[in-house]
Amino acid sequence: MKSKDLTESQFLALLQKILPEALTDPRLVEAVFERFAKELRLMKSLERFEKFCAEGSLPDLEPATVANLQNDLAATFGQENVAVEPTESGDAVNVEIALPDRTVSSQLKIRDPDAPVEEEEVKSPFVPFPVSLPEDPELLWVLARRENLPPDGAARVLASIEEEFWASKNGQKLLKDRHERTFAEFVANVPAAMLADSGLKRHYKEPEARRTLRRLPPKEQSLE
Do 130 and 205 fall within a single domain?
yes
Cα–Cα distances (Å) from 199 to 125, 140, 143, 219, in that order, read 10, 19, 11, 46
Q: Which residues contact 174 (CB under 8 A, 6 or more apart)?
A: 103, 185, 189
The answer to whether residue 74 sits within a structural domain is: yes
Q: How many domains does the chain have?
A: 3
The answer to whether residue 217 sits within a structural domain is: no
The answer to whether residue 172 sits within a structural domain is: yes
- Give the pLDDT of residue 116: 61
The answer to whether residue 176 sits within a structural domain is: yes
- Give the pLDDT of residue 140: 93
- Give the pLDDT of residue 169: 84
Do 132 and 145 fall within a single domain?
yes
- Give the pLDDT of residue 77: 86
- Give the pLDDT of residue 127: 94
- Give the pLDDT of residue 76: 84
- Give the pLDDT of residue 143: 95
Domain boundary among 54, 69, 87: 54
Domain hosting residue 146, numbered range: 126-209
- Give the pLDDT of residue 1: 38
Do 195 and 154 fall within a single domain?
yes
The answer to whether residue 202 sits within a structural domain is: yes
Do 38 and 91 fall within a single domain?
no
3-state secondary structure of 166: helix
Domain boundary among 29, 54, 79: 54
The answer to whether residue 199 sits within a structural domain is: yes
Q: Which residues contact 182 (CB under 8 A, 6 or more apart)?
A: none
The answer to whether residue 100 sits within a structural domain is: yes
Query: Rounded CA gap, 49 and 67, in Å?
Result: 16
Q: Which residues of the chain have pLDDT under 70?
A: 1-9, 11, 114-121, 219-224
Do 199 and 147 fall within a single domain?
yes
Do 28 and 100 fall within a single domain?
no
Domain boundary among 18, 37, 54: 54
Q: What separation, in Å, do the N-terminal and C-terminal C-alpha atoms of the chain show?
A: 54
In contact, 81 and 45? CB cutoff 8 Å: no
